[in-house]
Amino acid sequence: MSQLADLQLQLADLEQSIGMLLDTPPYAMAPGQRNDSLLALFKRELEYASECSPQFSNYVRHWPVSFAAADKIADLPYLPVSVFKANPPLSLVPASEIKRTLTSSSTSGQVPSRVVLDAATSRRLTKGVIAIIRDFVGAARRPYLVIDTQENLGRQSELGARGAAIQALGLFATEIVSCLHPDSQGEPGLDLEKLLACAAKWKEAEVLVYGFTYVIWTQLVQPLKRKGLALGMPNVHVLHSGGWKRLEQQAVTKDVFVRDVASVFSCSADRVIDYYGMVENVGVVYPDCARGYKHVPAFADVIVRDPLTLAPVQAGQQGLVQVCSVLPTSFPGFLLLTDDMGEIIGYDGCGCGRRGTHFRFLRRVPKVEVRGCGNLETTRQRRGSGA
């Protein structure tokens, strides 16, 4: 059998196994059952990726423990998330099969991460997001209000994190309305007339709202508060993501944010849901449950590692978060060590009723402080040379 045919068979086999996990209710599996099925599937994915990519194979071959012999997910070779800043992006498929490239929302001066999606991976990622969000807001389709500009709604071959998040939730929509528009300088501003028209039209209907946390605060909440307006939409679910750094700089706490968002929509605070997602782990999002924790769905896992030993820590201890997902096959994003610190709360039994691992993110790891007579980082960056 040719190598190509062999790879296609492996992929079909993987597709079937991933599909079964995607069809399982995301938060219903017992931890032991989930670990067994994930470990076997991750091993097959690593084998498949190694055959697709000599570079990835080189990495896996040098891992201190043979993945074939590993008896737990934590022993499998993981990549640091920063490898997706490479250009060209890491890929397991030929360029002709890439349908879309997702880019992260990097802050100024930083190189964004990029992941490539083929059709099959793209489909799975969408199914993953739907399965998770459905569990939090229900399955019904409903009007979808996007706190962003129209340009992030369209299909593009290279899509930023904002656009990707907006479009993933579009599958819940009966109609989509964006309520920001560019002003004369091209800066986004609130289209108040349009927003008030939507509020009047949808009133007490179930409505899905999504926006980046910072955008919701600056472009929606603050302008409405200044005008003393409330939208009278008690049955919205407001999903937001994108981190708190810029709001923290303005001394806006999570409690204040939730209170004020709920106030402008006239909804209860539990309808404002923060979720964590990253482009490199696309297809898996982590909304806060009613207890304030993030839950791992059936097709994913989260490990928290001691920064010194890189061994998994016990529940209650803090460490670097590793995210794991069986969904991608077009890029090696199965097992990724993030630059975020987190804490496992428990491996089952959250008070919200969802089963499995629940955890919380704590903070982004700060960049290494530039210090010391041996630190040439800034010199070299300015020269633009790797020497």
| Contacts to other proteins by CB under 8 A | 54-59, 62, 64-65, 79-80, 82-83, 86, 90, 307-311, 320, 337, 339, 341, 365-380, 386-387
* Alpha-carbon torsion, ordered 94, 96, 98, 99, to 10 deg: -170
Residue 204 · residue 267 · CB < 8 Å: no
- What are the residues whose beta carbons fall under 8 Å from the beta carbon of 231, sequence distance 6 or more? 195, 196, 199, 224, 264, 265, 266
Q: Which is nearer to other proteins, 290 or 311 (CB)?
A: 311
Min separation Cβ 195 and other proteins, Å? 41
Question: Residue 103 to residues 115, 117, 278, 279, 377: CA-CA distances in angstroms?
Answer: 7, 11, 10, 7, 25
Min separation Cβ 310 and other proteins, Å? 5
Min separation Cβ 251 and other proteins, Å? 19
Min separation Cβ 365 and other proteins, Å? 4
Min separation Cβ 84 and other proteins, Å? 10
Min separation Cβ 292 and other proteins, Å? 23
Cis peptide bond prior to 88, omega within 30° of 0: yes
Q: Which is nearer to other proteins, 225 or 363 (CB)?
A: 363
User: Collapsing DSSP states into helix, strand and coil, what is residue 118?
Assistant: coil
Min separation Cβ 12 and other proteins, Å? 27
Q: Which of 115, 10, 168 is nearest to 334 (CA)?
A: 115
User: Collapsing DSSP states into helix, strand and coil, what is residue 297?
Assistant: coil
- CA dist 163 and 187 (Å) reads 17
Residue 202 · residue 172 · CB < 8 Å: no
Q: Which of 197, 171, 185, 182 is nearest to 149 (CA)?
A: 182
Q: Which two tokens stand for residue 359?
A: 């955890």
Q: Which is nearer to other proteins, 256 or 365 (CB)?
A: 365
- CA dist 117 and 148 (Å) reads 24
Min separation Cβ 243 and other proteins, Å? 17
Q: Which is nearer to other proteins, 88 or 186 (CB)?
A: 88
- CA dist 301 and 38 (Å) reads 8
**Straight-line distance from the first to the last Cα atom of the chain, in angstroms, rounded to the nearest whole number:** 45
Min separation Cβ 15 and other proteins, Å? 25
Q: Which is nearer to other proteins, 279 or 337 (CB)?
A: 337
Q: Which is nearer to other proteins, 205 or 376 (CB)?
A: 376
Q: Which is nearer to other proteins, 288 or 301 (CB)?
A: 301
Q: Which is nearer to other proteins, 81 or 289 (CB)?
A: 81
Q: Which is nearer to other proteins, 155 or 367 (CB)?
A: 367
Q: Which residues pair with 142 in a beta bridge?
A: 173
- CA dist 80 and 140 (Å) reads 37
